Amino acid sequence: TNGSMILADLGAETIKVEPCYGEGTRKLLATDPKNSLDGMGAYYITLNRNKKSVAVDLKTAQGLELFKSLVTEVDIVISNFGAGVPERLGIDYSSLCEVNPRIITCTVSGFGSDGPGSKRPAFDQVAQAMGGGMSITGPDSKHMVRAGIPIGDLGGGMFGVMGILAALYERERSGFGQHVDISMLDCQISMLNYMATMHFLSGEDPYPIGNSHFVHVPYNTFTCSDGFVVIAVITDNFWQNLKEVVRCPEFDNAKYDFQPGRWEEREIINSTLNKVLSGNTCQHWLTELEAKRIPCAPVNTLSDALADPQVLHRNMVVDLKHPNGSSTKGPGNPIKLSRSKDEKFTAAPELGQHTDEIMTQLLNLSVEQIEQMKRKGIIK
């Protein structure tokens, strides 16, 4: 769902095909008074913006035939069914390429389409745990923590978009579509990146070190009188500039002028910095640090982050509408293109809101044919 949201935000005409009783995220938070808008929960209203809804019962022969007719008119089919479900429904790549050889399909599943674990069910935290990322997140090795952002789910969607765009580009050369097989576990392994290579070189398993860094010092979260700031000293020059800001006699030690010495005395440096910084406000220290070009940041709450002037300037907070005209706000599109600047965010659709439109305009069905299928419960 996140991957199709990204494509829709980029301007792809996106048709959400769901069962006549509606797909699962429609109900999430839908009745929560704090996290819903006129019967639409935060999940649904965010992830389904810029999409059209067509309700079809794929378990009927006529519904499946209708879906395949849609496939002849589109470029991409994305699904996030469990392993084996697309095959059982007859909507997997091998089935759909027979009706449209140019079709590109994409599935995002927990473990991919093959291998000894491919049939296992998975959700975000399962992927985070199996992918190793949880083992290096948290204050120490006894308190491992998942990422607060659902990177298992979101990573699958983002890598899915990359695969789809690569397949579209390849199709320009070959003339044929192909299947994009995304495993949430694969994505988590990929995001270990250079840390995986470090493991193979050293033979060691890293462990959680809180907000500190395994090379740079000081690189951590520090306490001010009214909150927390992050300071990232990654060069010796930054250290010299930091000394001018904090004016701490304990730091006038030649041993600290270079990274090895700072790393050796990291606990002393971090605790001393905490004492000094706690004597004034976050804004005071951020102003001083920024003046010396030292990488730093406040540890923002969501309300702070979503009100940041840079975030607002980049149109990263946008109106999310309900079909009835009411609206709330949500995150914008982080992909900014130099020519295609027209960002639009239409309302997440009601169930089957665009069924008639798609059936008449895309498939050229008559009103009588559509009404007949509605009476049989094939579409809604």
Catalytic residues: 153
Between vectors from CA 234 to CA 233 and to CA 237, what angle results, nearest 5°?
75
Q: Measure CA 170 to chain center.
A: 25
Contacts of 84 (CB under 8 A, 6+ apart): 119
Q: Report d(CA 183, CA 113) in Å as an integer.
A: 8
| Share of the chain residues as helix, strand and coil, in percent rounded to the nearest 5 | 40, 15, 45
Report yes or no: 378 and 63 within 8 Å, Cβ to Cβ: yes
DSSP 25-89: GGTTTTT-TTSEETTEEHHHHHHTTTEEEEEB-TTSHHHHHHHHHHHTT-SEEEE-PPTTHHHHH
* Cα torsion 211, 203, 188, 177: sign: positive
334: its two tokens: 């982080």
Radius of gyration of the chain (CA): 26
Bridge pairing between strands 40-41 and 76-79: unpaired
| Nearest CA-CA partner of 222 in 234, 210, 214 | 210
**335: left (phi > 0), else alpha (psi -120 to 50), else beta?**
beta
Report yes or no: 43 and 29 within 8 Å, Cβ to Cβ: yes
